[in-house]
Amino acid sequence: MGKEQKTIAILPGMFDPITCGHVDLIRRSVRLFDELIIAIGSNPEKAALFSLQERRSLTERVLEESNLPARVETYQGLTMDFARDVGATVMVRGIRNTADVQFEIQLALTHRAVSDLETVFILTDEEHAFTSSSLIKQIAAGGKVDMLTRLLPQTVIDVLRIKMQDHPIKPHDVKEH
């Protein structure tokens, strides 16, 4: 018999910042695949609060503190190209609510059609179903970082508090998506 190929999965996103919902999704995903790569990308339609390198560093810290064995990489360009470059055959996507479903299905069908990349959907824990980075940034911009303890790992809260002191943003500057 031939050698079995290991299954590499990617979990793409902006992670601006990484949330408790992301951590829960990663915790459940690492059990399903031989290797999980957290793929931190950019979205030209969204303004990032943290730079790509800051998001990578923060995500690595949170994963280390949570004892989660996932690799963190950054990329520019198309997710399907990144997946091919790292040898991934699966993309993991979290579904928070019914509003996510239509977009995610269209994305999954497109990836499968053009790159043979399969998508695995994982339902977000109900505790995190309402969490979004846009809402978190709005709350932080309103000066309420300390109210985010149920939504963000403590490390992220600490870094976000400093970020908001050094580079404050106004709540209306945060776009919802």
Catalytic residue flag (residue 22): yes
The string of DSSP letters for 75-129 reads: --S-HHHHHHHHT--EEEEEE-SHHHHHHHHHHHHHHHHHH--EEEEEEPPGGGT
In a domain? residue 75: yes
Catalytic residue among 55, 133, 137, 163: 133
Catalytic residue among 27, 28, 46, 84: 46
Write the CATH number for 108.
Answer: 3.40.50.620
Domain enclosing residue 16, as ranges: 8-129
Number of domains the chain contains: 1
Catalytic residue flag (residue 115): no
Catalytic residue among 22, 93, 128, 163: 22
Global pTM value: 0.88
Catalytic residue flag (residue 175): no
| pLDDT tens digits, one per residue of 57-95 | 999 999 999 999 999 999 999 999 999 999 999 999 999
